[in-house]
Structure 1
Amino acid sequence: MIRAIDLAALNTATKYPSIPTYHALDPKNGGLIEETVDFNGDVYLTEKVDGTNGRIISFPNGDYVLGSREELLYARGDLIGNPALGIADALRPLADRVTPPAEGIRILYLEVYGGKVTAASREYTGNRTVGYRLFDSADVPLEVLEWPRARISNWREDGGQRFLSEYELAQSAKAQDIELVPRLATVDAGGLPTGIAEMQTFLTEHLPVTRVALDESAGGHPEGIVLRNGDRSVIAKARFQDYRRTLKRRTQPAGGR
């Protein structure tokens, strides 16, 4: 099946769409402004792990392709694959045992972290151990691959991929025996902070240290939290560094550095 597919179209259709920050970013300086993503009802909080995005793209016949955030790296049966960031080596054993979808394409989005993946790897391991956690999953119809790439890209960024709900994701992870990124809490949307300083406090209260450390010598500082509603129609991220940088800038004298 893979040999008959336009791989460039497959790459475009299965990329993970961009996620907005909970407080909007100021295009002038990259700081946060007092404007938030609007949530309603229950909001699920999960740890945002600082690694690299890996994709397992599965087909009904058992074929699969592994990818990074931007490119495809390996297909089942390849003798040679792209070794970028150790993604293929980390995910291939999992991809070999994942149950294929009954129809269409199923994508598992996993954060590969630790090792020498990012500068923050030391927060998760002192021994260069590599781990992964599932953070999302989506379905894509095969017919999408027949569209022009520009149309596929627009479709993806407009929410065309069907993402699993919080319940479906949990059930899928359990059935496949894959660890999810940690679930921290479920809060009512009305209780979410709207102020930047208040949100920094909220982050610290819910995630004082990472919950995905791979060994006892890990630094332990977390990257942030992802907020999503039950059906994943609304999703946002909140990173510690964005709040620290914004609040630090506010305390600096005018014209200071």
Structure 2
Amino acid sequence: MNLDVRTTDLRALNSLTKYPSIPTYHELDPKNGGLLDTAVPFTGPVLATEKVDGTNSRIIQLPGGDYLLGSREELLYARGDLIGNPSQGIVENLKPLAEALPPVTGDLIRVLYLELYGGKIGGHAKQYSTRGAIGWRLFDAALISGYAGLLAAPPQEISAWRESGGQPWADEDALHAIAAEAGVELTPRLFTLDAAELPTDLEKMQALLTDRLPATLVALDESGGLAAEGIVFRTPDRAVIAKARFQDYARTFKRRNR
């Protein structure tokens, strides 16, 4: 089956394939942005990966061979367009990759979520390179079947479906297979531990970050500052996911020690 970009509701497709909000491992206080003592509950094995600080990018592969490129919030380019939105260099850098990808098989939409980083992308860019180098890492993929009904749903229904975990995610094994097929690297896999070993104490989590990720593993050359942004924790089936950023813990303790 083909899905024709020209006859598809692009607002619905955009909403369907946006990357959802990922909670912080320790809950954020809505009053001041500091961290609270409440932590996301995990069970079983927990995989830790480096959180790369760049711009969230999408390659949306449609049945029939068409594809679109997007930022986290908007679609920027569709296969065959003469002009693409230059926002943050997503189209310029990821179009060659999208063109080289093998088409999806079966009646599904496949979305590859990549962090495009370095250059002048984000406040952390100089930690990866001060020479303008740009790179990308795959951090997630969604495999959406039964999309016809979803594309016909009201916008608020699609958004609610997405933010409540409706998107069907590739598990860890499938993500490795997708990365190998696409010829892209995943965000670094750091370690796996049992959920019982995952600290729920703020100080101990800050210590874990410092101990397990003293420097970024995705530097683009030797010129960068090498500071890492943080760690993403996930179950191998991606049913539970949360992020822990160095800056959130530093900000929290600075406020508490005033």
Q: TM-score range by the shorter chain?
A: over 0.9
Q: Secondary structure at the match of 2:64?
A: coil
The residue that corresponds to 2:93 in the other structure is 90
Distance 2:200 2:233 in 1: 14
Q: 1:72 aligns with which of 68, 72, 75?
A: 75
Q: Secondary structure at the match of 1:163?
A: coil
**Identical pairs, percent:** 58
Deviation at 1:176, TM superposition (A): 1.9
Deviation at 1:174, TM superposition (A): 1.4
Q: What is the letter of the counterpart of residue 63 of structure 2?
A: P
Distance 2:70 2:115 in 1: 12
Q: What is the letter of the counterpart of residue 107 of structure 1?
A: V
The residue that corresponds to 2:186 in the other structure is 180
The residue that corresponds to 1:60 in the other structure is 63
Deviation at 1:146, TM superposition (A): 1.4
Aligned CA RMSD, in angstroms, stands at 0.8
Q: What is the letter of the counterpart of residue 73 of structure 1?
A: L
Query: 1:114 touches 1:131 (CA, 8 Å); kept in 2?
Result: yes
Unaligned runs of 5+ in 2: none
The residue that corresponds to 1:255 in the other structure is none
Mapped pair 1:212 → 2:215: no
Q: Secondary structure at the match of 2:124?
A: helix
Distance 1:179 1:91 in 2: 14
Distance 1:187 1:99 in 2: 34
Query: Could you list the per-position Cα deviations for residues 208-236 of structure 1 after superposition, in whole angstroms to 9, with x for gaps in the alignment?
Result: 00000001101100100000001100000
Query: 1:165 touches 1:231 (CA, 8 Å); kept in 2?
Result: yes
The residue that corresponds to 2:245 in the other structure is 239
Deviation at 1:98, TM superposition (A): 1.3
Distance 2:246 2:100 in 1: 36
Aligned residues: 252
Deviation at 1:194, TM superposition (A): 1.0
Query: Could you list the per-position Cα deviations for residues 33-58 of structure 1 after superposition, in whole angstroms to 9, with x for gaps in the alignment?
Result: 11100001110000001100000000
Deviation at 1:100, TM superposition (A): 2.0
Distance 1:175 1:71 in 2: 26
* Ranges of 4+ aligned residues in structure 1 off by more than 3 Å: none
TM score, norm. by length of structure 2:
0.96
